[in-house]
Structure 1
Amino acid sequence: MSQTQPTINEDGTHRSLSNRHVQMIAIGGTIGTGLFLGAGTTISQTGPSVLLVYLILGLFFFLMMRAIGEMLYADPSQHTFVAYIAKYMGPRTGQFAGWTYWLGLVFLSMAELTAIGNYVQFWLPQVPAWLIELCVLSVLVLLNLSTAKLFGETEFWFAMIKIVAIIALIVTGVVMTINHTSTPLGQAAISNLFIELRAFPKGFMAFAAAFPMVFFAFQGIEFISITIGEAKEPRRIIRKAVNNTLIRILLFYILSLVVIMMIVPWNSIKPDKSPFVQVFQLAGLPAAAAVINAVVLTAAASALNSSIFSAGRHLYQIATEAEGKSRFSSFLARISRNGIPAHGILLSGMLMLLAPFISLFRGVGGAFTIVTGISSDLYIVVYILAMLAHRRYRKSPDFMPSGFVMPAYSITSPLSIAFFVLIFASLFVMPDDRAGAFGAIAWCLAFVIFYAFQARRERDVKDVDSLSGQNSH
């Protein structure tokens, strides 16, 4: 076989993603609008202690990726990390996690699509948002229906734009600090980091509230696990992609925040404005808002592109694991000639069409925000289930002691699970997150009730069959 030809998996999907693609997809999954836009809010609330928030959460996300990476290394044939939840926690728990994660992806995609409409209107205010959203969604769905390699190539360049923007910020900030550049807010200096230096400058609750905010900024870091099923040399790539996660977090998040606070004193940062825009404007770049708008547009398009890719694979995984194959699951489980779960992508894309519809009717926006909050909160539940599945994997015959093992497992595994549980519990304390947290609990209870009824019906059927068998004798 030629080296240029992708390896074909047993299910017909193609291993056409190279190390270059997966590494950049990993960066794209780590860096999103949470850094470019949301960082201003967290800095203004916590001051320099925001660095500690990012560092703690970065460490636990790294540990989660090591747990997922360990299972991927042992069995790199799976298309999503949710497959391991089904494998080690049971098919029904796997179905719950699969549908939950897929629905979360769809709603988050709709949120990104709505944001894209707003970003494009920065340049084209006369064009209706619903038309922009429809065009962007159509292009990205068609791109995902082509080949995994083309998706990887697109994500490579999306990630490259984000990296260039961050490097530009860091270089600009370092030059301004070295030259002690004067700005309307004072002088750029390292000493700006130590203004009102206290652990909780706006109180402990403001510090605690930053954890869920930063948690959602890291959301999507697990996307690299969804590319492994279609990656060349998966085991070699898993090690590199996962191990570099912490380095990327330190480099892109921590260093960016340090530079921002050296230029703009943290108590002068406007929470409703991108700190990137504020830095570039102070550096004398009049087009800062337009440049960062383009970068944020790229970040949103990248997130949407990855979500479409991931949503299609999750629907495919759900269909292949369904108990008792129905026509619908058989339809979703088909792989196209070019090795793509096309039906899963199309169905996900069709549901995402609700976003342009919502843009037409502004009154629906409030309900949409609540649903997006619920889907976001449900990700924490899926992450906890992934960590529990990893513990089951460790006790199974599949465990590879010589593989890519999680460091200090006996300590880091229970500590990570406890931390994620604590993050979910904190949502009930935060007024903005409370509705989403209760909605997430309601969704979980709905599944428990559904499966309880399903189990009871199956027992009744067995009892009827048993009785009819006895009567026939």
Structure 2
Amino acid sequence: MSTQPTTDVAPSPPAPSEGGRPSDGLQAGLKNRHLSMIAIGGVIGAGLFVGSGSGIAAAGPAILLSYALVGALVVCVMRMLGEMAAAYPSSGSFSAYADRALGRWAGFSIGWLYWFFWVVVLAVEATAGAKILEGWIPAVPQWGWALIVMLVLTATNLASVASYGEFEFWFAGIKVVAIAAFVVIGLLAVFGVLPGAHSDTAGVANLTAHGGFMPHGPGSVLTGILMVVFSFMGSEIVTLAAGESENPQRAVSKATNSVIWRIAVFYLGSIFIVVSLLPWNSPSIVDDGSYVAALNTIGIPHAGEVMNVIVLTAVLSCLNSGLYTASRMAFSLGERGDAPKAFARTSARGVPRAAILSSVLFGFIAVFFNYKWPDTVFAFLLNSSGAVALFVWLVIAFAQLRMRAMILRDDPSKLVVRMWLFPYLTWATIGMISFVLVYMLTDPDGRQQVILSLLAAAVVVGIALVRDRLRASRPATASAGGVRDSAEGEESLPTGS
């Protein structure tokens, strides 16, 4: 771990250091318990709590297949990302790997698109949290609560990475305990052994008793995929955070190996409980929310209030992680010369303050758009970032295809996490993601997201290619120590040599 200065400095590009961490100006402030909870909580977004009802209504019990297919896709993507992150821990994660494996244009493009995605998410989650808080304390207007929430979490992230880790540890912990309790209580109710439960309709028969397992036909599984795929975004955050831990390889390996059971329990397990406790076509699933409806069915008192607390926790967790993720991506882009150099400066506590404040500023602007022009300007921002998750997963897959050879060339001992059935499963994952993108074009809402997201991507890629051409036309300049400066060269990751 590098020694921190007493004033802001611009670090050099990542260089090899002991323990597998790049010396990039960030501090190893995240403990193992932080990384473990970030990994577990990263797959549990607010969308699971508030968005699953629509998916159940659209696909019926077959939504379980939709979650299973998307879950398998995420498991493969995380395995590929884990292979690269364990070998080359980096605050830029897949953006840095794309930079090295596919070219500067790829790292630049996916990095900025990912940053854009998260600053828009900041506005969505701040507004969602403000609505809940305003319902509890109406004396404070909704915009006031959004401001308070953003300021508190900004202060937390500015303090130190350990502060972010501590907040996220407790936020994620509440989500995990809530889902685990829901699954346990739900299973007891489904099999009729929960004391005090008064539901006569609960049972696995609900999976087939109301129009069959696929009441809307096999095509509803694909419709369900479109509705649930984006609730998995955030699983990759742990690979960015691992760069600020003492033992990145161990953290990434552990997170990658546990992603299967995390998705199985938190997504498949909880949705199985919902569609078993009450008929899939029950109006309460959409009106009250799937989890509240399930809890009400078995007589859990104050289910709505309890769920509001859990949803608020999930929202705050997403906000906290979104700000962290956007700032670290901005930091990595600045470090590689793809963003203002100020983004790559860290404080004495290893915090990229300029990157954090810039991300917050754009988040505040997006919040303003959400209040002022929710159906025009903000809707455009939301739709133009809607398919970025799928673009990120595609880039991870293509980068891993090339990075495997680079890892074997540089240092085979770094290949501590391996993608299964390489390269066949990698190509199958690419095919599945591409299919989802094409299928989205057949859905009115999905079509708008894909087209606007492709437009945003085309603009960013165009800028990247112009930058590359301008760099190529300039005379080459040598950088100190044989490592590229902030704007030149090829290597963006430690080689381990």
Q: Deviation at 1:423?
A: 1.3
Give SS of 1:127's match.
coil
1:393 alignment partner, one of 403, 413, 418: 403
Asked if 1:349 corresponds to 2:360, the answer is yes
Kept after mapping to 1: 8 A contact 2:122/2:363: yes
Q: Deviation at 1:455?
A: 5.5
Partner Cα distance (2:418, 2:159) in 1: 35
Q: 1:151 to 1:457 in 2, by over 3 A?
A: closer
Question: For residue 222 of structure 2, what is the amino acid of its counterpart?
Answer: A
Asked if 1:260 corresponds to 2:274, the answer is yes
Q: Deviation at 1:219?
A: 0.9
Kept after mapping to 2: 8 A contact 1:101/1:382: yes
Which residue of structure 2 lines up, in the alignment, with residue 430 of structure 1?
Answer: 443
Asked if 1:112 corresponds to 2:122, the answer is no
Q: Spell out the pairing of 1:276-355 with structure 2 (5 A cutoff).
A: 276-322=291-337, 329-355=340-366
Q: Give the TM-score taking structure 1 as reference length.
A: 0.89
Which residue of structure 2 lines up, in the alignment, with residue 4 of structure 1?
Answer: none
Q: 1:449 to 1:350 in 2, by over 3 A?
A: closer
Kept after mapping to 2: 8 A contact 1:427/1:434: yes
Q: Spell out the pairing of 1:440-459 with structure 2 (5 A cutoff).
A: 440-454=453-467
Partner deviation per Cα, 1:105-143 (whole Å, 9 max, x = no partner):
101111111111111122123421111011100000110
Kept after mapping to 2: 8 A contact 1:158/1:299: yes
Percent identical: 31
Q: Deviation at 1:45?
A: 1.6
Q: What is the count of residue pairs matched by the alignment?
A: 453
Q: 1:437 to 1:448 in 2, by over 3 A?
A: same
Kept after mapping to 2: 8 A contact 1:188/1:264: yes
Which residue of structure 1 lines up, in the alignment, with residue 494 of structure 2?
Answer: none
Q: Spell out the pairing of 1:8-27 with structure 2 (5 A cutoff).
A: 10-27=23-40
Kept after mapping to 1: 8 A contact 2:39/2:255: yes
Q: Deviation at 1:355?
A: 4.2
2:224 alignment partner, one of 189, 205, 210: 210
Partner deviation per Cα, 1:156-212 (whole Å, 9 max, x = no partner):
111111122212222322232333789897422222222246453113443211112
Give SS of 2:423's match.
helix
Which residue of structure 1 lines up, in the alignment, with residue 492 of structure 2?
Answer: none
Which residue of structure 2 lines up, in the alignment, with residue 223 of structure 1?
Answer: 237
Q: Deviation at 1:433?
A: 1.8
Kept after mapping to 1: 8 A contact 2:253/2:416: no
Q: Which moved more, 1:141-150 or 1:259-268?
A: 259-268
More helix by share: 1
Asked if 1:410 corresponds to 2:423, the answer is yes
Q: Which moved more, 1:162-171 or 1:28-37?
A: 162-171
Q: 1:89 to 1:333 in 2, by over 3 A?
A: same
Partner Cα distance (1:439, 1:377) in 2: 9
2:202 alignment partner, one of 182, 188, 202: 188
Partner Cα distance (1:12, 1:446) in 2: 31
Kept after mapping to 2: 8 A contact 1:70/1:404: yes
Q: Which moved more, 1:210-219 or 1:445-454?
A: 445-454
Q: 1:183 to 1:195 in 2, by over 3 A?
A: farther
Q: Deviation at 1:307?
A: 0.7
Partner Cα distance (2:465, 2:191) in 1: 65
Partner Cα distance (1:358, 1:230) in 2: 33
Question: For residue 424 of structure 2, what is the amino acid of its counterpart?
Answer: I
Which residue of structure 2 lines up, in the alignment, with residue 95 of structure 1?
Answer: 108
Q: 1:370 to 1:201 in 2, by over 3 A?
A: farther
Partner deviation per Cα, 1:423-444 (whole Å, 9 max, x = no partner):
1112211111221111111122
1:373 alignment partner, one of 380, 383, 386: 383
1:147 alignment partner, one of 149, 160, 166: 160
Question: For residue 323 of structure 2, what is the amino acid of its counterpart?
Answer: I
Could you tell me which runs of 5 or more consecutive residues in structure 1 were left unpaired when the two chains were aligned: 2-6, 463-473
Q: Give the TM-score taking structure 2 as reference length.
A: 0.85
Question: For residue 445 of structure 1, what is the amino acid of its counterpart?
Answer: A
Could you tell me which runs of 5 or more consecutive residues in structure 2 were left unpaired when the two chains were aligned: 2-18, 476-497
Q: Deviation at 1:67?
A: 0.6
Partner deviation per Cα, 1:378-404 (whole Å, 9 max, x = no partner):
221122111111111122224637521
Partner deviation per Cα, 1:351-406 (whole Å, 9 max, x = no partner):
11124423542x34443133212212122112211111111112222463752111
Partner Cα distance (1:367, 1:460) in 2: 38
1:240 alignment partner, one of 251, 254, 258: 254
1:173 alignment partner, one of 174, 178, 186: 186
Partner Cα distance (1:304, 1:64) in 2: 23
Partner Cα distance (2:118, 2:148) in 1: 20
Q: Deviation at 1:70?
A: 0.5
Partner Cα distance (1:96, 1:307) in 2: 19
